Amino acid sequence: MIFKVLYQESPDEIPVRERTKSMYVEGESVREIRDKLIKKGYKINVEHIHALDPAHLEYEKQSEHFKLENV
């Protein structure tokens, strides 16, 4: 399953919508995605992680920013 992770690059700052970034990660659960990010040493402030259903995934794939991260 593919998950969309919404995050801020700086873990010390208050989240601001205009600076929110996203990445796409493959995994089995939200917990697994969080664990993967921690193990790989990502220094980010995770706002939200949600699973993409097939229709939403196809929509996201049309974006030039879509890139499946190898976490």
pLDDT per residue as tens, the chain (71 positions): 999 999 999 888 888 889 999 999 999 999 999 999 999 999 999 999 999 999 999 999 999 889 999 88
Sign of CA dihedral 24, 29, 30, 36: negative
Residue 38 counted as domain residue: yes
Residue 59 counted as domain residue: yes
Residue 21 counted as domain residue: no
Please report the pLDDT score of residue 71 as a whole number. 83
CATH number at residue 34: 3.10.20
pLDDT digits (tens, 9 = 90+) for 10-25: 888 888 889 999 999 9
Phi then psi for residue 12, to 5 deg, are -95, -10
Residue 40 counted as domain residue: yes
Residue 58 counted as domain residue: yes
How many domains is the chain built from? 1
The region that residue 30 occupies, defined by phi over 0 for left and psi between -120 and 50 for alpha, beta otherwise, is alpha
Q: Tell me which residue range forms the domain holding 52.
A: 2-15+28-65
The partner residues of 6 in beta bridges, in order of sequence, read: 22, 48
DSSP string, 34-52: HHHHHHTT---EEEEEEEP
- Please state the pTM of the whole predicted model: 0.88
